[in-house]
């Protein structure tokens, strides 16, 4: 295997900063705290919050650019504006969302970014005091959080059904050994998505693999997944 030292970097996944001298022949690769891979930002702490914030920021930039040039134009139909929303805004915001660990803060921020765009499409503002669910119903748009959760639970089903030897499935089932540091443990994606399936589908963790193993049953459950009630 050939390695381009000018394009390679080293990163250690650890809560604390750990020095790693990775040498290729006579060169030591620079150690970094974060790097992008296939468009996704990875950090040495192993958290996804910065990546989620980055996606929201990128989507907000897209929204502002389109708002100045396209979205507010009266001669552009609502159908065309929604096509822009689905083809540009949503993919920018949700890229890589299958492996996000969502908190109440990130859910709130994702919904705020979503509704900021949709209110402009509907010609409304916050002062109009129209509920988000009513705006989505008028525009015929599915909740973005519902789409994210459905994809996350769907990816869980893929991982459960993967045969032995497939790397994603092996990582999903892996149980690392060793002693955890003091304090509250971080929420693993497996724990998060298992709890999500329990909350949203009513499937307890000990029955998860059996339920997800039936592809058609799992797909039908996802199609029936209801949206979360809007806050307030």
Going from the C-alpha of 219 to that of each of 94, 161, 213, 232, the distances in angstroms are 21, 13, 11, 31
pTM of the model: 0.82
CA triplet 16, 35, 180: central angle to 5 degrees? 30
Residue closest to 109 by CA, chosen among 186, 53, 148: 53
Token pair in block for residue 78:
């609502």
pLDDT of residue 40: 87
Q: Mapping DSSP to helix (H, G, I), strand (E, B) and coil, where does residue 196 land?
A: helix
| Residue 58 tokens, joined | 């990128």
Distance in angstroms (rounded) separating the CA atoms of residues 47 and 38: 17
CA distance 168 to 218: 19
Going residue by residue through the chain, which has 232 residues, state the pLDDT in tens, using 9 for 90 and above. 777 878 888 888 877 788 888 888 888 888 888 888 888 888 888 788 888 989 999 888 887 877 666 665 667 788 888 888 899 899 999 999 998 998 888 899 999 999 998 998 888 888 888 999 999 999 999 999 999 999 999 999 999 899 888 988 888 888 777 777 777 777 888 889 999 999 998 889 888 888 888 889 899 989 888 888 776 4
Q: What is the pLDDT of residue 72?
A: 57
pLDDT at 2: 78
Residue located via tokens 């930039």: 61
Please tell me the predicted confidence (pLDDT) of residue 36.
85
What is the C-alpha separation between 31 and 9, in angstroms, rounded?
Answer: 6
Residue 84 is predicted with a pLDDT of 85
**Site of tokens 């080293």:** 10
The C-alpha atoms of residue 120 and residue 116 are separated, in whole angstroms, by 7
Residue 159 near residue 209, CB atoms below 8 Å? no
């Amino acid at each position: 295997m050939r390695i381009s030292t000018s394009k390679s970097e080293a990163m250690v996944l650890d809560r604390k900063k750990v020095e790693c001298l990775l040498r290729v022949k006579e060169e030591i690769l620079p150690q970094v705290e974060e790097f992008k891979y296939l468009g996704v930002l990875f950090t040495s702490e192993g958290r996804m919050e910065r990546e989620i914030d980055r996606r929201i920021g990128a989507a907000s930039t897209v929204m502002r650019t389109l708002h100045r040039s396209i979205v507010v134009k009266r001669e552009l139909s609502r159908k065309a504006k929604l096509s822009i929303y689905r083809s540009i805004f949503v993919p920018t915001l949700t890229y890589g969302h299958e492996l996000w660990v969502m908190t109440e803060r990130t859910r709130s921020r994702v919904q705020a970014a979503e509704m900021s765009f949709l209110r402009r499409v509907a010609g409304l503002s916050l002062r109009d005091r129209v509920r988000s669910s009513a705006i989505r119903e008028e525009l015929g748009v599915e909740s973005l959080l519902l789409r994210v959760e459905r994809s996350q639970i769907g990816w869980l089903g893929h991982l459960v059904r993967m045969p032995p030897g497939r790397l994603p499935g092996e990582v999903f089932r892996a149980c690392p050994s060793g002693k955890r540091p003091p304090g509250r443990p971080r929420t693993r994606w497996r724990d998060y998505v298992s709890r999500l399936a329990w909350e949203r589908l009513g499937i307890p963790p000990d029955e998860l693999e059996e339920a997800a193993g039936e592809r058609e049953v799992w797909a039908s459950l996802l199609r029936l997944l209801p949206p979360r009630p809007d806050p307030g």
